[in-house]
Chain A
Amino acid sequence: MEEHTLPYWIDQYLLGTISPEDRKQLEELMAVDPSVAELVNDSKEAYKALIHARHKQLREKLRELDKDDMKQSGFAPKWFGWFAFFILLMSLYVYMAFFYFNPSAIASRNFIHPDVNVSYPTRPQFQETLDDANEAFLTKDYQTAIVLFESLTTPDSIQNAYTRWHILLAQLALEGPTSNWKVGMEIFSREAPEPFASRAGQLTTLFDSWTYKFFYVRMRDNLSAIKPKLI
């Protein structure tokens, strides 16, 4: 019978579908004929290679199924979480930097408390006006603060520097670092006593820095461009 040839037996043997009688005959043949034994062994090795290929194929199919499942369930890969976190962190940083470099915030941060640096004249009315000016400044009523500070002219150079400093800060908060303001601040930094001179120097340097230009000027321009679209 054509089917009961050696290759047929080997095929059935490898697939595990050989009948017990045929298996017995094949094993007897292998025992007496080394060339048959070698042929069967070579076939076993090739069969193993096939099994390995099938395992690999199954693994790939399972991976594809996993991917499909992930897509269907809307599960985002791990890196996406980190990416989103990074973007969020960067946005937060830029947002905070934007407010850090806001002229109004800069003015508030540079307010100098009168208890520490200023010796007041003894006039009670002067003291009252100074308190009102400071309060107006701290409550961000910069227009009033400017008017009140301007009324506080005294022969005392430190007191004058104090009022001038806060007038400049209030102008900064209202209009930003305009060219006139920068000129005024430069003159002030040359003429004023410490600590006003060094503070004024720091402020003028800040407004020329790339961080201010990048985080505030650029962002402000971009935001003002987006705003009408959003509205």
Chain B
Amino acid sequence: MVHDVEEKYGYEEDNPDAFIFSADEQLRFETAFSSMGQRCQEVLLLWLNQYSMIEIAQKMSLSNDAMARKIKFECFKKLKELVKSGNKTQR
């Protein structure tokens, strides 16, 4: 018998209203995300889709999961900075 995979949701994703973004937010997020390199975008989207670090390492042809974790950490840090700087520019 085949069971459906149980879906997991992020910190607020069980509340869809939390992810209805205003036009300003959309523009800010899009600018920040598109400012990152292709590899960073790919790692972060895989992480968001709840891939394990081992799976990310395999998909991205990285040496091991530690390397994947490190790249994800650096990319997410960069994204935080870009979103934050976008916030400041808007204000």
Count A/B pairs, Cβ under 8 Å: 77
Contact B84 A42 (CB under 8 A): yes
Q: Could you tell me if A45 and B87 are in contact, using CB atoms closer than 8 angstroms? A: yes
On whether the beta carbons of B84 and A47 are closer than 8 Å, the reply is no
Contact: A45 with B48, CB < 8 Å?
no
A55 to B19, CA, bound (A): 10
Assess the A42–B83 pair: CB atoms within 8 A. yes
CB-based contact B11/A54 at 8 Å? no
Bound CA span A11–B11, Å? 10
Among the stretches A14-22, A114-122, A166-174, A198-206, the one at the interface with B is A14-22
Interface mask (B7-30 → A, CB under 8 Å = 1, otherwise 0): 011111110000101000110111
Q: Are B80 and A50 in contact (CB under 8 A)?
A: no
* Cβ contact of B73, chosen from A7, A42, A48, A49, cutoff 8 A: A7
Contact A47 B10 (CB under 8 A): yes
Interface size class of B (residues with CB under 8 A): 20 to 34
User: How far is B25's CA from A14's CA once the two chains are assembled, in angstroms?
Assistant: 19
State whether the Cβ of A110 lies closer than 8 Å to any Cβ in chain B: no
* Complex-state Cα separation, A14 to B8, whole angstroms: 11
Chain A residues in 8 Å Cβ range of B26: 52
For chain B, what secondary structure do more than half of its interface residues adopt (helix, strand, loop), or is it mixed? helix
- Say yes or no: is A187 at the interface (Cβ < 8 Å to chain B): no
Residue ID in chain A nearest B28 by CB atoms:
A49
Give, as a whole number of angstroms, the nearest-CB distance from B69 to chain A. 9
Residues of chain B within 8 A (CB-CB) of A46 are 32, 76, 79-80, 83
Expressed in whole angstroms, the minimum distance between the Cβ of B7 and any Cβ of chain A is 10
Distance of A1 from chain B, by nearest CB (Å): 15
Picked from B45, B73, B80, B84, the residue with its CB within 8 Å of the CB of A53 is B45
| Interface pair B45/A54, CB less than 8 Å apart | yes
A47 touches B29 (CB 8 A): no
CA distance in complex: A13, B79 (Å): 17
Contacts of A57 in B (CB 8 A): 45
Nearest Cβ on chain B to A124's Cβ, whole angstroms: 93
A44 interface hit (Cβ, 8 Å): yes
List 15 A-B residue pairs with CB atoms under 8 Å apart, sorted by A's residue number.
A14-B11, A16-B10, A16-B11, A16-B13, A45-B84, A46-B79, A46-B83, A48-B19, A50-B44, A50-B45, A53-B33, A53-B44, A54-B45, A56-B30, A57-B45
